[in-house]
Amino acid sequence: MDKSKKRSIDKVQVLAIRRKLELALQLQKDMPHIAERYKRGDFMTEIVTNERIASKYYVNEKTARGAVLYAIRGYNAGLIPSFSGLIEDESLLEKLAWEHMSRHGKIAVANKWGFSGLSEEEQKKMRLRIVANARKNKTGIYAMSKEERIRNARIGALKMGKKIMTEEEILYAISLYESPKYKRNSGYGIGGPNWRLISEKVNEKFHHDTADRPMDSLRAYVLKKIKSEGMPTLRNDCLWSEEEKRYVAELANSPEFQYREGSQQGHTDWKKLASEVNGKFRFKRTDRTHTSIKTYYYTSIREYAM
């Protein structure tokens, strides 16, 4: 593409954005109630249609949707003087965005739109193609270092209201793990760590006696830390073998172990996967709960699937 043509396209894009911004300011004066519609769950398209914005202001649907977005969220990117949105609370905007995406996803599944309308085999091929392209072009998660992936995962967890385990909390849990007071003294696994007692003590000290730190996630955090530091491990703590990790990574991405219908369609069925893993590696015992496998997958195993 020659430079003159590229410049003309850029100019057209700038004019289109400016038109959306000008209309956004007008909508803030004429229709401030659209913010309440957005809070109630209306999509941008629904607001544009129900308020007849395109016909009232003689613009196309795309421009109208963009104007509604800017009217609600505001603008601060330099093309025109910045202005606040009808909704100024950033945390509320983020919460509403998640709710809108969730609702759209449920509608897509119910109506078999896009990805949800593909067969199992087609979905698998598309996932593999997307991963292959991202890996080849170094985009998304493949453009990040391991440290960046960990940092972004922590940010995402915090935004979802989860509590990141602090270094102090991990070290305290390890001290309990090594203490004779917190060993199993009878039954299966005698002499190994009593994770239930350890979890109760950690929650008592750091989470005011609430069960904010589930036993399975605590166990995964502690064993990962012990392994990374090269510390000796106690017997009966069921450390993961390389073969078991690779097997879980394979199953987690297999259509056979994914929900085939409902709101979880396409997502991993961790209970079914746990039954398979325990049958193969733990001799039918339920040493690994579906929650602990899921937690360990996202903290340590997922890299095997990349």
List, for residues 53-99, the tens digit of each pLDDT value: 999 999 999 999 999 999 999 998 778 889 999 999 988 988 888 88
Q: What is the pLDDT of residue 230?
A: 65
Lowest mean pLDDT among 44-53, 152-161, 166-175: 152-161
Eight-class DSSP state of 75: E
Max mean pLDDT range (73-87, 223-237, 290-304): 73-87
Note whether residue 185 is domain-resident: no
Residue 35 burial (10 A CB sphere; 0-12, 13-18, 19+):
buried
Give the pair of three-digit tokens for residue 212: 């904010």
pTM recorded for the entire structure = 0.43
Note whether residue 78 is domain-resident: yes
- Confidence class for position 304, pLDDT limits 50, 70, 90: low
Note whether residue 57 is domain-resident: yes
Asked if pLDDT for residue 154 goes beyond 90, the answer is no
Note whether residue 230 is domain-resident: no
Q: For 48-58, give one letter per residue: b (16+ CB within 10 A) or e.
A: beebebbeebe
Q: What is the pLDDT of residue 146?
A: 79
Place of tokens 């449920």: 106
Measured at the CA of 45, the angle between CA 13 and CA 60, to 5 degrees, comes to 40
Eight-class DSSP state of 81: -
Mean pLDDT computed over every residue of the chain:
82
Distance of CA 137 to the CA centre of its chain: 22
- Name residues whose C-beta falls within 8 Å of residue 209's C-beta, 6 or more positions apart in sequence: 203
Rounded distance between C-alpha atoms, residue 218 and residue 164, angstroms: 11
Q: Which domain holds residue 49?
A: 3-89
**8 A C-beta contact, residue 237 and residue 223:** yes
Q: What is the pLDDT of residue 284?
A: 52
Note whether residue 95 is domain-resident: no
Note whether residue 43 is domain-resident: yes
Rounded distance between C-alpha atoms, residue 278 and residue 3, angstroms: 61
Note whether residue 221 is domain-resident: no
Amino acid at 227: K
Q: What is the pLDDT of residue 305?
A: 55
Segment 25-45, tens digit of pLDDT: 999 999 999 999 999 989 999
Number of domains in the chain: 2
Note whether residue 22 is domain-resident: yes
